[in-house]
Amino acid sequence: MRVVPIPLRNAFDHINYLLVCSVKREAVAVDPYDVPRIVAEAEAQGVTITSIVNTHEHWDHAGKNAEMKARTGAAVMAPRAAAGTLEGLDRLLVDGDTISVGAESVTVRAVPGHTMASIALFGVEDDGTPFVVSGDTLFGAGVGNCGYGGHAPTLQETISGVFAPLADETRVYPGHDYLKRNLAFTLSIEPGNAAARALASLLESSDGSAPHFTTIGEERAINLFLRSGSPEVRANLELPAPTRDTDVFLAIRSRRDHW
């Protein structure tokens, strides 16, 4: 499978995706926002969009379903837990489901926290690299906020239970490109984080046209929400000891909300 990111460079820094099966020349569109761009990209790739998948119910991820379906005729799929807030769904997705991408497939995992209905899609690229399309749950050097239908303790369980165990080489494809700003947040709490500093300066020297997609291995080094055990993070948050990893995560989430 090929993952084709479509960075929109709009006010939300959306990244739309096509998941493409090169054999059958079919594609799944994930969280479409700029419908004309996605349709044009599918045409440029010579593939037919057969499914539209929402990672969660927020309008900037699921609000263009009808327009996408009108343009492509593709089936619309969204988390079952979001069914009450979305219209025109052809298939309701639950943890463990598979979605066909031509001759290949991706697996659905429930990843509640940013919203309680959120899902992520897991697959393998043509070169053998495992990947996750993470919606607004895991971002480069960050996680989703919990202010619009989410729950921070649940998000902590999702990050530690679903994402932390993934193999280092797993590529992360998030719903927004917040990496640069998130790295600045990392360095505000953990100024001694050499990996975050190196990546921040790499981004500073690039023209920014193509997003940098991290791996889970990189996230372990640069994402505070996976670094609750870091002594520097704990010291700079000035939390009373002993503190559980969960409390550190919640403190970081709260800091980021007000940063």
Among 45-53, 54-62, 183-191, 193-201, which window interacts with Fe ion (CB under 5 A)? Answer: 54-62
With 0-12 / 13-18 / 19 or more C-beta atoms within 10 angstroms meaning exposed / middle / buried, residue 167 is exposed
Q: How far is the CB of 145 from Fe ion (least distance, A)?
A: 8
- 58: contact with Fe ion by CB under 5 A: yes
Nearer to Fe ion, 12 or 259 (CB): 12
- 14: contact with Fe ion by CB under 5 A: no
Nearer to Fe ion, 64 or 234 (CB): 64
Return the C-alpha torsion angle 2, 57, 259, 230, nearest 10: -60
* 147 vs 228: CA distance, rounded Å: 21
Q: How far is the CB of 231 from Fe ion (least distance, A)?
A: 32
* CA atoms lying within 13 Å on the CB side of residue 39: 13
Nearer to Fe ion, 102 or 142 (CB): 142
Nearer to Fe ion, 14 or 71 (CB): 14
CA angle 244, 232, 184 (to 5 degrees): 105
Residues 87-146 that bind Fe ion (CB under 5 A): 136
Q: How far is the CB of 23 from Fe ion (least distance, A)?
A: 32
Q: Is 31 left (phi over 0), alpha (psi -120 to 50) or beta?
A: left
Contacts with Fe ion by CB under 5 A lie at 58, 136
